[in-house]
Structure 1
Amino acid sequence: MQVTETLNEGLKREYAITVTADELDAKVNEKLSEAQPEIEMKGFRKGKVPMALLKKQFGQRILGESMQEAIDGAMNQHFEETGDRPAMQPEVKMTNEDWKEGDDVQVEMKYEKLPDIPEADLSDIKIEKLVAKASDADVDEALSNLAENAQNFEDRKKGTKAKDGDQVVIDFVGKVDGEAFDGGSAEDYPLVLGSNSFIPGFEEQLVGVKEGEEKAVEVSFPEEYGAENLAGKAAVFDVTVKAVKKPVPAEINDELAQKYGAEDLEALKGQIRERLEAEYQGAARQVMKRQVLDALDEKVKFDLPPSLVDAEAKQIAHQIWHEENPEVQGHDHEEIEPTDEQMKLAERRVRLGLLLAEIGQKAEVTVTDAEMTQAIMNQARQYPGQERAFFDFVRQNQQMQQQMRAPIFEDKVIDHIAEQADVTEKEISKEELQKEVEKLDEE
């Protein structure tokens, strides 16, 4: 077997690989010899079938398999000897397309190698760690929001028209073709106008009604309605309005706290403060992460594999195009050419991705099974009732696992860099932190 370099330009490499006919024949004979003891054939005892007959019977079938193994072996040996790490899957093709049995196999291999990444001195990276505390005003604002969500309803003055957001207490009877239908009637039903809990068009027709008023609400059931006997049908609901009530926030007291699972109001305030400061900490971490990435981007420069940059730029351009054209759901559109700005962003992402991977590898950063399980469980909560199915899907999908592992690995490497860096703390307000977060989107 012979491997000859034909191109060495930047990170691009090309090689000509020759697998001789004798090497292939020897590999076929080796495979047949391994299988011979177990082969039975009419007229011969088990394990006694002559090699020549085996070769005639099975040689062609084994030849292709042997050819692939020989080429794979040559490639693996090449990467072990050179230390090259391909940026993407190498491009491999036979160059003697008129090959026939008994000829040498000529193969061309092309790839871009990952660059040698210089050592980065992390100790002189300066990080300003932002710290925001939840003020009493922040806690009170969050409490008010909770009270609003736990709102009660009080009777409006008699004769007041119902507004969007009001609660109307109603009796109703629904009819299709003049006949009442099962499940279409109720008494003393509390309906919040604008909640979209009834058939489309129903609640809108009750805006402006008064206590004691009777109204015929005309609607049509959606075509995809669950009950087939009602789907797409026109209906009339005879409605009697028994009360019109306005929303009022719940009182901020121990009773409200207990509704949210706290022992008393002070305990609820403590929980709110912890939650707010956890949110602030998460936002501050995003600012810190950008500081680290900016510092690394300035500190370390090296050649980038063009194929990785092109792939990243096209992905960025494609994503942005769909954000700007939300009406296009599929991907059967014209090819999106990346802009110069998108190419620069792609170069930054590829450079930092390779650098973080190198730093993490040298620091022996790993993602544990427990961390992966926790990440899968967190994402599974987005699919209520299907958590187990999602969990099993991820466990059986290597690509999905890699997508979930990558950000965990990156965050752990960022933490490792921060431990080596020169870090100073700065206490700021919630508003100042919000401005710093907004800057991240602007850059």
Structure 2
Amino acid sequence: MQVKETLNDGLKRGYQFTLPAAELAATVDAKLKEAQPEVEMKGFRKGKVPLAMLKKQFGPRVMGDAMQEAIDGALREHLEKSGDRPAAQPKVEMDNGDDWKEGDDIVVNVSYEALPEIPQVDLGKLSLERLTVPAEEAAINEALENLAKSAQDFSDRRKGSKAKDGDQVVIDFKGFVDGEAFEGGEAEDYPLVLGSNSFIPGFEDQLVGVKADDEIKVEVKFPEEYGAEHLAGKDAVFECKVKAVKAPKPAEVDDELAKKFGSDDLEALKKQISERLEQEYAGAARAVLKRSLLDQLDEQVKFELPESLVEAETDQIAHQLWHEEHPDEHGHDHGKIEATDEHKKLAERRVRLGLLLAEIGQKAEVTVTDQEMTQAVMQAARQYPGQERAFFEFIQQNQAAQQQLRAPIFEDKVVDHIAENAKVTEKKISKEELEKAVESLDQL
């Protein structure tokens, strides 16, 4: 095997491998001889088929396998000797593929971008601030009030009272489109809270001011994107009879409310709310710490980046942001999306930090356990109710999907490792200060 360097420019590498025809032929003969004892062919006993006949019938296929094995082996040996780590799958092309015939040497051109040498980072020089926010009494009381509202009941208003926004009206209704009643457009004793926006836009507004025993025709238009295609965009009339008007009555903040939400008493519910709030605060504070950590790494550590990775990340960012700006476009037949300098700058940051975190994690022997992966898969599967089994099978058979789940877990564990070795100070702040700190985080 002869190897000749054809390109060495920054991280770009190019090599020409020459595989001698004699070595290839010897490999083919060896494979055929190995298979010969098991081959059966009409007119010959098992294992007695002449090598020349085997070569005539199976030679081209075995030659193809031998060529692929030789190329793979040569590339593997080259990477082991050079120490290069390709940023992506190397590009392999036969230089003489169109004119090649048996008996010729095989000339292969190999090109790739090597991953750069990642500078070592002194994690002890990083200065981080861990924000802590206690669950204040006001926040706990606000949460209790919201729970009380969600558990509210309704009581009849005095006879003749007009319905207000927030009231519950109990109605019988029947809907018509083009003068014909439609399926699913009828109900009796339906409790509708005005202002809940649970009905077609405009429906609830027309019931504000009604009284018990009123009969009213509500005229609305179904949204263009309505789920039932035969009703989408259609004008409709609902004949409604108001049977009761009820005022909201929030639940009392007491032990009974606590029991409705699975706690033994009010104090236990308060403790539960406090723990949940502090958990939410801790998650937000961790996002602030992580952003500070990544900003410092991005500022302190510079190295050459593989252009192919930057270009791929730039295109992905441009595509993602375009779809966020055009939420009604769900397909991918929108033509080429031009990336901007801002997209490229963001891509360079992501690629740089991705490579750096991977290097730090590898040196620290950070791994994602089977248990952590199982939890991630189960959590992701909840997004597909009724299709969990199909989702599990998809993940098992798809390495790329597994990597998508593994990557954020690995990154978070590397961030934890860095924080453990950095200079970290604790700072107690208020909920409002934490909210401002979170709001200051941009999309990087």
TM-score by length of structure 2 reads 0.91
Task: Give the letter aligned to residue 102 of structure 2.
Answer: E
Structure 1 residues 225 and 124: alpha-carbon distance in aligned structure 2, compared to 1, 3 A threshold: closer
User: Which residue matches 2:155?
Assistant: 154
Instruction: Decide which moves more: 410-419 or 326-335.
Output: 326-335
Q: Residue 109 of structure 2: SS of its match in structure 1?
A: strand
Whether 2:115 is the aligned partner of 1:111: answer no
1:41-440 matches, cutoff 5 A: 41-96=41-96, 97-172=98-173, 187-195=188-196, 203=204, 205-217=206-218, 225=228, 238-440=239-441
Which residue in the other structure is 1:23 paired with?
23
1: distance between equivalents of 2:443 and 2:185?
53
User: Deviations for 1:19-56, whole angstroms, at most 9, x for unmatched residues?
Assistant: 12112211211211121111111111100101001001
Matched residue of 2:81: which SS? helix
Instruction: Give, in whole Å, the separation in 2 of the partners of 1:328 and 1:178.
Output: 35
The alpha carbon displacement at 1:157 in A equals 4.2
Amino acid at match of 1:33: K
Structure 1 residues 3 and 344, CA gap change in structure 2 (3 angstroms): same
Relative distance call for 1:407 and 1:234 in structure 2 (3 A) is closer
CA–CA distance in 1 between the matches of 2:289 and 2:37? 66
Q: Distance in 2 between matches of 1:310 and 1:180?
A: 57
Question: Once the 2 structures are TM-superposed, how far is the Cα of residue 442 of structure 1 from its aligned partner?
Answer: 7.2
**Cα 1:442–1:118, aligned 2, differ >3 Å: closer, same or farther?**
closer
Rounded to whole Å, the distance in 2 between the matches of 1:343 and 1:177 is 55
Aligned length: 441
Change (3 A) 1:93 1:210: same
Q: Unaligned 5+ residue runs, structure 1?
A: none
Check the 8 A contact 1:11/1:113 in 2, yes or no: yes
Match of 1:262, SS state, is: coil
Relative to structure 2, which stretch is displaced further, 235-244 or 283-292?
235-244
Q: Structure 2, unaligned stretches of length 5 or more? A: none
Task: Please give the alpha-carbon distance, in whole angstroms, between the structure 1 residues aligned to 2:361 and 2:341.
Answer: 30
Whole-angstrom CA distance in 2 between matches of 1:220 and 1:440: 41
Kindly provide the CA deviation profile for residues 278-305 of structure 1, in whole angstroms up to 9, marking residues without a partner as x.
Answer: 0000011011111211222222221111
1:287–1:158 distance in 2 versus 1, CA, 3 Å: same
What TM-score, normalized by structure 1, do the two folds share? 0.91
Task: Give the stretch that moved more between structures: 215-224 or 279-288.
Answer: 215-224
Counterpart secondary structure, 1:17:
strand
Q: CA shift at 1:266, angstroms?
A: 0.9
Separation in structure 2 between the aligned mates of residue 70 and residue 255 of structure 1, nearest angstrom: 76
Tell me the amino acid that sits aligned with residue 269 of structure 1: K
- C-alpha root-mean-square deviation of aligned residues, in Å? 2.8
Counterpart residue number, 1:6? 6
